[in-house]
């Protein structure tokens, strides 16, 4: 077996096929490549001015803390940790109050405003009171039981998105901006919330009588200990909330002591440059042509050497079944039902003339669910267009092995 294949933990040795994700290209201006050394904001389009905290949610310091790339030393003290794959590298999952990250209380975090908090995050359970990132008693970014994103002053004042904004089971970029300070009137000019690069419908949301009477951003004082956490409300907060964890995952987290510009907000949400978008577009058009059962549309999207490999687990082994382009075209053209295949949370990598799309998918025949799994597209650039050379995919059935599309049935 090829040693490189072992490195990437994916092989189909029966077919002598090894899927190797290509190296990342250089970052395109205006996109988010992830927090790292030399690029602590994750994007050249996001200025480092006012950066307070930058966690990539995977890199550790020599003493085992979650590294802060801001240069201010706000490394996270980890509780129980559950590392998972994120969209931009490793991430941390949270489901219990023990799964949390504590950052030592510091004047840098005593932010009465302006303030920006940005996170790539996935919410795995709805209908809960769950804190994402907060410092008591100054500011809190959390999710309400009716599934709103909210930035609050911890005294009942704040702005929340519309009920049902939060979506389960998919990665989203969320940016909350406080463009003012203590004493300013609370409205949607003071606090703005963006989801996936778009402003989310939101409104003033005053959750206490004092907040309703004053109507102003009114943070308290930063507690000297046990106040600032990701994935958990501190022991300084409402006692009833201390058994309520965040249920989901965090990939990249940034905190700034200034309000981001719209350009910076959009850049944080832009994972793909033009080349990556072109590659993903081919995968999506491939599925659209399948649904239309139109091989004339599939032909220019697929390389003459196209191979499809379906894998399924049988006991402790994996069975692989391969088909060529001609066989696949006959199956699609002769299908008596509509194959509806959808992918989400795609990871796209491009290097020179090769590309990979790796994504969860589900498949329905008409409105009847068939299966789900992972699609791994391999593509080459031929002339001015991308063509699919292979699709290797797992065939799985929930709930034990994979999940269906977060949006529900098609």
Residue 34 maps to a domain? no
Count of C-beta atoms within a 10 Å radius of residue 31: 21
Residues 215 and 314 grouped into a single domain: no
Residue 352 lies in a domain: yes
Final residue of a structural domain among 232, 250, 269? 269
pLDDT for the residue numbered 3: 34
Question: Which of 269, 285, 314 delimits the end of a domain?
Answer: 269
CA distance 126 to 157: 23
Regarding whether 281 and 243 lie in a shared domain, the answer is no
Q: What is the pLDDT of residue 185?
A: 96
Please check whether residue 335 lies inside any domain of the structure: yes
Task: Measure the CA–CA gap between 210 and 59, rounded to whole angstroms.
Answer: 42
- Tens of pLDDT, residues 63-86: 999 999 999 999 999 999 899 999
Domain CATH for 117: 2.60.120.200
**In terms of domains, do 265 and 136 share one?**
yes
The predicted structure's pLDDT at residue 121: 98
Is there a domain that residue 32 lies in? no
- Regions in the chain scoring below 70 on pLDDT: 1-29, 235-237, 399-400
Q: Do residues 212 and 262 share a domain? A: yes
* Integer Cα distance of 387 and 409 in angstroms: 29
Residue 17, both tokens: 């096929």
The 10 Å Cβ neighbour count of residue 114 is: 18
Same domain for 98 and 226, yes or no, is: yes
90 three-state secondary structure: strand
State whether 216 and 353 are in the same domain.
Answer: no
- pLDDT for res 400: 62
Cβ 255 vs Cβ 133: under 8 Å:
yes
Q: Are residues 259 and 285 in the same domain?
A: no
What is the model's pTM? 0.84
Residue 357 and residue 238 in one domain: no
In a domain, 46, yes or no: no
Whether residue 130 is found in the same domain as residue 277? no
- Residues ≥6 apart with Cβ < 8 Å to 235: 226, 242
pLDDT for residue 391: 98
Predicted pLDDT of residue 232: 86
Both tokens assigned to 95: 């489901």
Note whether residue 43 is domain-resident: no
> Is residue 403 situated within a structural domain?
no
Do 215 and 153 have their domain in common?
yes
Are 103 and 232 part of one and the same domain?
A: yes
> 106-139 pLDDT, tens per residue?
999 999 999 999 999 999 999 999 999 999 999 9
- The domain containing residue 196 runs over which residues? 51-269
- The CATH number for 382's domain is 3.10.450.50
261 and 286 in a single domain? The answer is no
At residue 291, the pLDDT reads 98
Per-residue model confidence (pLDDT) at position 239: 74
C-alpha to C-alpha distance for 94 and 79, rounded to whole angstroms: 10
| Tally of structural domains, the chain | 2
pLDDT tens string 199-251: 999 999 898 888 888 999 999 999 999 999 999 887 666 777 777 899 999 99
Assess if residue 362 is contained within a domain.
yes
Helices (H) and strands (E) in the chain, counts: 6, 24
């Amino acid at each position: 077996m090829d040693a490189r294949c072992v490195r990437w933990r994916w092989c189909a040795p029966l077919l002598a096929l090894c899927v190797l994700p290509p190296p990342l290209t250089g970052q395109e201006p205006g996109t988010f490549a992830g927090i790292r050394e030399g690029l602590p904001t994750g994007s050249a389009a996001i200025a480092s001015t006012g950066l307070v905290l930058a966690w990539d949610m995977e890199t550790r310091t020599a003493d085992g803390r979650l590294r802060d790339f801001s240069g201010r030393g706000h490394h996270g003290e980890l509780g129980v940790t559950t590392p998972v794959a994120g969209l931009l590298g490793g991430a941390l999952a949270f489901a219990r109050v023990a799964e949390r990250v504590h950052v030592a209380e510091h004047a840098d975090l005593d932010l009465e405003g302006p303030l920006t908090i940005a996170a790539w995050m996935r919410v795995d359970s709805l209908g809960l009171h769950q804190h994402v990132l907060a410092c008591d008693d100054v500011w809190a970014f959390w999710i309400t039981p009716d599934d709103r994103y909210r930035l609050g002053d911890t005294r009942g004042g704040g702005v929340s998105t519309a009920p049902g904004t939060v979506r389960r089971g998919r990665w989203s970029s969320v940016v909350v901006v406080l463009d003012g300070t203590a004493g300013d009137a609370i409205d949607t000019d003071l606090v703005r919330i963006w989801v996936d690069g778009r402003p989310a419908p939101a409104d003033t949301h005053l959750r206490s009588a004092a907040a309703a009477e004053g109507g102003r951003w009114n943070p308290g004082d930063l507690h000297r200990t046990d106040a600032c956490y990701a994935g958990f409300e501190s022991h300084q907060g409402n006692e009833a909330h201390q058994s309520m964890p965040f249920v989901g995952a965090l990939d990249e987290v940034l905190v700034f002591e200034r309000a981001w510009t719209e350009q910076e907000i959009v850049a944080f949400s832009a994972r793909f440059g033009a080349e990556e978008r072109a590659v993903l577009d081919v995968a999506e058009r491939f599925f659209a042509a399948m649904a239309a059962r139109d091989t004339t549309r599939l032909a220019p999207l697929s390389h003459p050497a196209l191979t499809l490999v379906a894998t399924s687990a049988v006991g402790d082994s994996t069975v692989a079944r391969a088909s060529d382009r001609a066989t696949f075209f006959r199956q699609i053209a002769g299908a008596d039902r509509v194959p509806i295949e959808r992918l989400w949370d795609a990871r796209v990598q491009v290097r020179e003339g090769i590309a990979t799309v790796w994504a969860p998918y589900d498949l329905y025949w008409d409105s009847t669910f068939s299966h789900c799994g992972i699609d791994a597209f391999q593509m080459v650039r031929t002339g001015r267009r991308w063509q699919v050379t292979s699709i290797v995919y797992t065939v799985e059935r929930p709930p034990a092995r994979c999940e269906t599309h977060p949006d529900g049935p098609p």
